[in-house]
C-alpha cells in the first residue's frame, strides 16, 4: 500500500485514508464491484457478517496480494462474548479466505443486551493473538466508547459511524480525537439526502472539474475522516467510487 495515503492507527497499523463499502451488495455483485475497485486503486475493503457478502468479497480478494489490501469485517450481537468474538473472527476469515483480518469491528453496541464490553475483551484477545491487526467498533456513541475505556483501559482504534456533511457528528469526532480513535464514515455521500445536488457542492465540483461526490469525499478526508463509499450509494455514485482514490 506504499502508494496509497494512509493513517496510522493507535496500535501502529497503517490504514488507507479511503475505502470501499460493500453494503448492500450480494455475493455476486460484491465479487464484481470489489474486483473493479481493486483495479481502480482501492486498498481498503469493508464488509460485515450482516451484509452476507463475505464469500463474494473473498473471491475478489484472491486477485490481489494479501498484504496490499486492508480487509475489514464486523460481527453481530450473538457473538458478544470473549469466545464469541473468536468464533465470529473464524467464520469471517473462512468466508473471506484469509488467515487474518486487518480490522475487526463490533457492528453495533446493542446496549439492551449489555455485552459489548465482553465483545471488546474478545477483540483485545484476538489482537494479542495476532489474528487481527487492529480492532474497533461501529455505531458506538461516546458513552459506549467511554465505558470500554473505563472497564478495559483500551480505546478502539476505529469507530465507524454514519457521517457526511449532512451528519457531521462534531461531538463524536471530538471524542474520537481526544482518545486517539480514527473516525470512519459509512454513507459518506449522504444517502437518502440531496447532498450531491446541493448548490455549494455542485459549484465547487464545477470549479475543480470533479464529480460532486468527489468534493464531498475530499472534505471528509480533510477533516481526518476515513470515508468508505459504497458502489450503490447515492446518485452518480459509479463515477464517484471509481475516481475517489484521487480526491
**Residues labelled as active-site residues:** 51
| Closest residue by Cα to residue 20 from 232, 247, 235 | 232
38 and 64 Cβ atoms separated by less than 8 Å: yes
Cell numbers that stand for 229 in this block: 463509499
- For the chain, percent helix, then strand, then coil, each to nearest 5? 45, 15, 35
What number of CA atoms fall less than 13 Å from residue 153's CA on the CB side? 0
Cα gap 16→26, rounded to integer Å: 24
Distance CA 232, CA 240 (A): 10
Say how many C-beta atoms besides its own lie within 10 A of residue 91's C-beta: 15
Amino acid at each position: 500500500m506504499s502508494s496509497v495515503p494512509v493513517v496510522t492507527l493507535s496500535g501502529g497499523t497503517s490504514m488507507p485514508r479511503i475505502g470501499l463499502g460493500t453494503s448492500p451488495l450480494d455475493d455476486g455483485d460484491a465479487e464484481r464491484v470489489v474486483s473493479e475497485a481493486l483495479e481502480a486503486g482501492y486498498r481498503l475493503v469493508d464488509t460485515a457478517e450482516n451484509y452476507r457478502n463475505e464469500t463474494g468479497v473473498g473471491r475478489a480478494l484472491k486477485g490481489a496480494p494479501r498484504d496490499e489490501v486492508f480487509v475489514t469485517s464486523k460481527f453481530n450481537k450473538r457473538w458478544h462474548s470473549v469466545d464469541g468474538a473468536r468464533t465470529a473472527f473464524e467464520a469471517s476469515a473462512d468466508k473471506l479466505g484469509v488467515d487474518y483480518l486487518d480490522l475487526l469491528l463490533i457492528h453495533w453496541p446493542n446496549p439492551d443486551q449489555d455485552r459489548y464490553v465482553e465483545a471488546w475483551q474478545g477483540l483485545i484477545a484476538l489482537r494479542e493473538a495476532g489474528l487481527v491487526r487492529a480492532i474497533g467498533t461501529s455505531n458506538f456513541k461516546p458513552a459506549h466508547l467511554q465505558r470500554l475505556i473505563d472497564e478495559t483501559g483500551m480505546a478502539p482504534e476505529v469507530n465507524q459511524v454514519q457521517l457526511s456533511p449532512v451528519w457531521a457528528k462534531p461531538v463524536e469526532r471530538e471524542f474520537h480525537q481526544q482518545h486517539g480513535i480514527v473516525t470512519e464514515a459509512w454513507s459518506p455521500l449522504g444517502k437518502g439526502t440531496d447532498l450531491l445536488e446541493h448548490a455549494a457542492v455542485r459549484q465547487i465540483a464545477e470549479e475543480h472539474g470533479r464529480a460532486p461526490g468527489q468534493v464531498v469525499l475530499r472534505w471528509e478526508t480533510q477533516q481526518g475522516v476515513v470515508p468508505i463509499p459504497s458502489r450503490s450509494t447515492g446518485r452518480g455514485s459509479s463515477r464517484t467510487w471509481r475516481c475517489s482514490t484521487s480526491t
